Amino acid sequence: MTSHDRPADRYAVVGHPVEHSRSPRIHALFAAQTGEALDYGRLLAPLDGFESTVRAFAAGGARGCNVTVPFKFEAFQLAERRTPRAELAGAVNTLRFDADGWWGDNTDGAGLVRDLEHNAARPLAGLQLLLIGAGGAAAGVLGALIAARPARITVVNRSPDKASALVDSHAELGRAHGVTLASAALADAPAAQDVVINASSSSLAGSGAPVDARVLKPGTLAVDLMYGPAAQGFLDWARAHGAQGRDGLGMLVEQAAEAFCFWRGRRPDTAPALAALRAELSGGANHGSKA
C-alpha cells in the first residue's frame, strides 16, 4: 500500500494564540517532500482548556501535536514519558500519542543548535556564548547548547534569580561537558561574546536588544529567536555594531524537522522548507514569531 492509499495521520499545533503559526505550512512541505501521509492543522486551546483540547484531539484518532506558548509546561505534566532533553528543559513542545501512553519531547534546543552549526556554519565548540532570557525558550535550548561544548555560557535575564535557577538546573550537565556556566543581570552581561542568543521576548515587546552593545564584537553571531518584522530591531542593532544578525526562522524549521522525525522516524531535508518560508515571509506573508 502506498502513502496515497491510506488516510492521512492527524497532527496539529496547539497554542493560544495559534493563528499566526507557520508550523502547518512547514509540516505540509515536509509531508510533500517525504511522501508521508500527514494532515497538520492548528488548534486554539482556551487558556484554561489545554488538557481537554489535547485529550479530545487524541481521542479523535490524532497521532500527536506540537505545543506552543503558553502551554509547554502543561504539556510536560501531561506526558506520561519524556525524553531526557524534555526532562532537562522541564518543558515539552512535541507530544506523541502512542497506544501505550503519551511521549513528550523538546525539540527547540536541537533545532537551534542545528541552525547555528549547520545552516549558519558556526560550530559552537570552544566559543563564548551569551544566552539572554530564562523563560521556556531559554530552558528548552540550554541543554543542547551545553552539549555543543562551548567554553562558557553566561545566562542573563531581566529577573536575575531566574537566570541563576536555570544555570543551577544545568550545572551537572555543564560539568560533564567541561562548559563553564554563569548567570548575571542584564546590565552585567559580559563583553565581546562570540555568539549572542536573544531567547527573551524583548522583540515581542518591541524593545529590541535588552543588553548593551558591548556584548558584541566584529563578527559576533547575534541571534534572535523571533522572526519576521518583530525581529528587525534586534537584527538592525546587531548589524549596526558589526555583528552578523540571524533570526529564529531557521530554528523554527529545524525544531519542526526534529518533531517530524520523533513522529515519523525520518528526518526531512530542511533547506528547501527554510528557503520557501524565507521567500514567503519576505513577501510580507506573516508576522509570525512562535512555533
- Among residues 135 and 245, whose Cβ is nearest to ligand NDP? 135
Of 29-37, 59-67, 153-161, 167-175, the window that binds ligand NDP (rule: CB under 6 A) is 153-161
Residues in 93-122 that interact with ligand NDP by CB under 6 A: 108
Beta-carbon contacts of 183 under 8 Å, excluding residues fewer than 6 positions away, are 154, 155, 156, 157, 160, 163, 164, 166, 167
Per-position x/- string for 26-55, each x denoting binding to ligand NDP as judged by CB under 6 A, each - no binding? ------------------------------
Decide if 193 contacts 238 (C-beta within 8 A): no
Residues numbered 246 to 275 that lie near ligand NDP (CB under 6 A) are: 248, 251-252, 255
Q: Name the minimum Å distance from CB 82 to ligand NDP.
A: 18
We find the least distance from the C-beta atom of residue 142 to ligand NDP, in angstroms, to be 11
Distances from the Cα of 138 to the Cαs of 41, 92, 141, 197, 272, in angstroms? 26, 13, 5, 9, 27
| Pair 149, 177: CB distance under 8 Å | yes
Decide: residue 278, CB within 10 A, 0-12 exposed, 13-18 middle, 19+ buried: middle
**Shortest Å, Cβ 132 to ligand NDP:** 7
The number of residues that bind ligand NDP (CB under 6 A) is 29
Q: How far is the CB of 4 from ligand NDP (least distance, A)?
A: 31
**Per-state percent for the chain, helix, strand, coil, to nearest 5:** 45, 20, 35
Kindly list the strands in the beta sheet with 101-105, ordered across the sheet, starting from the edge strand earlier in the chain.
Answer: 38-44, 9-15, 64-67, 94-98, 101-105, 81-82
Choose which of 204, 213, 261, 276 interacts with ligand NDP (CB under 6 A).
204
Is there a catalytic annotation at residue 72?
yes
Query: Which positions lie near ligand NDP, rule CB under 6 A?
Result: 69, 108, 133-138, 157-159, 162, 199-202, 204-205, 207, 210, 225-226, 248, 251-252, 255, 289-291
Catalytic residues: 72
